[in-house]
Amino acid sequence: MRRVVITGIGVVSPIGNGKEEYWKALEEGKNGVGPITLFDVSEYPVRIAAEVKDFDPGQWMDRKEVRKTDRVIHFAVAASDMAIEDGALDLNGEDPTRVGVYLGSGEGGIGTSFQNIKTLLEKGPNKISPFFIPMMISNMPAAYVAIRHNAKGPSLCAVTACATATHTIGEAIYSIRRGEADVILAGGAEAAITPIGVAGFAAMKALSSRNDDPEHASRPFDADRDGFVLGEGAGVLILEELEHAKRRNAKIYAELVGYGNTTDAYHITAPDPEGVGAVRAMSMAVSMAGWDLADVELINAHGTSTPLNDAMEAKAIRALFGQHTEDILVHSTKSMIGHGLGAAGVLELIALLLAFERGVIHPTINLERQDEECPINVVGKEPVYRKISRALSNNFGFGGHNAVLAIQRYEG
């Protein structure tokens, strides 16, 4: 069987851009949530989010390109370039038909959509930008990255809400195993902190309304959680066939060994309260990895900070792992970076990869009083220093989409 390893990391996030800045913030438990600055929110019921800061797209693209592309593409380009640099991957030396791009986005260019609809209503159809459609369609981050790097192999843009990036990575595993590609740039990007994005999620009552206390708004598994915090950013990984990586002496962060993909078929937004789909997805990932349940040491939870999701996920973990539950550490990256929607899965998988490398499990900040409905072993406000060899990354999206990845330490 062709084995799949991860050899490069690129990240744009609310707590840091680039893997070193991102990791330092994770280990320190840095909060990335604050007042929204991207537009005027004075009349909005929710006025906080986890924005990407200190990001200049001009560092990665020329100004003409920047003007013709949405913020979500800016993030994707930056993360992909970082991943290629981190992985010391010379794409000029690769057969372009053996290089793929699996990059998803839940909302696509939602900011561009909002601006052009506003223009249509205020100024008429003749004022719509000719770049509107290619700026806003969800596949364009993947397409733009492929064009930028002459990647002519398999390409896919998953759109499964909050499970998007996890699905793109999982499907990329299959593509490499089938022999369709040797290298795939995989991940997700999102830039939904826009007037319509914030207003829409707020109207659903999905967001935390702690406008006066943003630092404590995202609090997964805490008894006082009141909703998620909207985030943004991008993560791109270099997925590589093992022998291909070894031939070029690539640094290997971990091996991708399992993937679970299920659907609740229950509700358009609420998860199945019994967590049956989540249980099956985790079980599939563990089975594909060839592990026993007792082998799992750490779970990076979906952990959104919403009452329904956190309770469901905790119930699912306990239902699957039973007596082993207390031995498994669980943490939530969203406590610091908010909910990156289509980018969430890859940003969280990157946290696991760096935990493997550094021997540190980042904290779940704001866990003051763990909810009794979440009886799992959640890492609290301090990091745990421990070598981890096997872990799961969970993501569950609106519409009942469930995706889980299993990774293990590569020992040679």
- DSSP calls for 335-404: HHH-B-GGGHHHHHHHHHHHHHHHTEEPP-TT-SSB-TT--S-B--SS-EE----EEEEEEEETTTEEEE
Q: Are residues 270 and 238 in the same domain?
A: no
Same-domain check for residues 118 and 138: yes
Residue 75 belongs to some domain of the structure: yes
Domain boundary among 247, 281, 297: 247
Determine the structural domain holding residue 135 and report its residue range.
4-247
**Catalytic residue flag (residue 162):** yes
pLDDT score recorded for residue 1: 85
Q: What pLDDT, on the 0 to 100 scale, is given for residue 297?
A: 98
**183 with 129, same domain?**
yes
What pLDDT score was predicted for residue 379? 98
Of 49, 162, 193, 206, the catalytic one is 162
Please check whether residue 298 is in contact with residue 352, taking contact to mean a CB–CB distance below 8 angstroms: yes
* Together in a domain, 75 and 223: yes
Q: Do the Cβ atoms of 23 and 15 come closer than 8 Å?
A: no
In a domain, 76, yes or no: yes
Residues 148 and 202 in one domain: yes
Per-residue pLDDT of the chain (412 residues; tens, 9 = 90+): 899 999 999 999 999 999 999 999 999 999 999 999 999 999 999 999 999 999 999 999 999 999 999 999 999 999 999 999 999 999 999 999 999 999 999 999 999 999 999 999 999 999 999 999 999 999 999 999 999 999 999 999 999 999 999 999 999 999 999 999 999 999 999 999 999 999 999 999 999 999 999 999 999 999 999 999 999 999 999 999 999 999 999 999 999 999 999 999 999 999 999 999 999 999 999 999 999 999 999 999 999 999 999 999 999 999 999 999 999 999 999 999 999 999 999 999 999 999 999 999 999 999 999 999 999 999 999 999 999 999 999 999 999 999 999 999 998 8
CATH no. for residue 210? 3.40.47.10
- Domain membership of residue 238 (yes or no) is yes
On whether residue 253 sits in a domain, the answer given is: no
CB atoms within 10 A of CB 18: 18
In a shared domain, residues 194 and 335: no
| N-to-C CA span, the chain | 16
Please check whether residues 103 and 180 belong to one and the same domain: yes
Dist CA 295 CA 291 (whole Å):
6
Distance of alpha carbon 102 from alpha carbon 236, whole angstroms: 9
* pLDDT for residue 97: 98
Residues 213 and 265 reside in one and the same domain: no
Judge if 297 and 319 occupy the same domain: yes
**Domain end (from 215, 247, 279):** 247
Q: Is residue 306 part of a domain?
A: yes
Instruction: Mark which of 194, 220, 247 sits at the end of a domain.
Output: 247
Q: Are residues 333 and 203 in the same domain?
A: no
DSSP state of 266: S
Tell me whether residue 252 is in a domain.
no
Is residue 397, in this structure, part of any structural domain at all?
A: yes
- In the chain, the number of structural domains is 2
Residues 241 and 289 grouped into a single domain: no
Q: Is residue 263 part of a domain?
A: yes
**38/41 Cα distance (integer angstroms):** 9
Query: Of 303, 299, 349, 336, which Cα lies nearest the Cα of 4?
Result: 349
| Domain match, 233 and 288 both | no
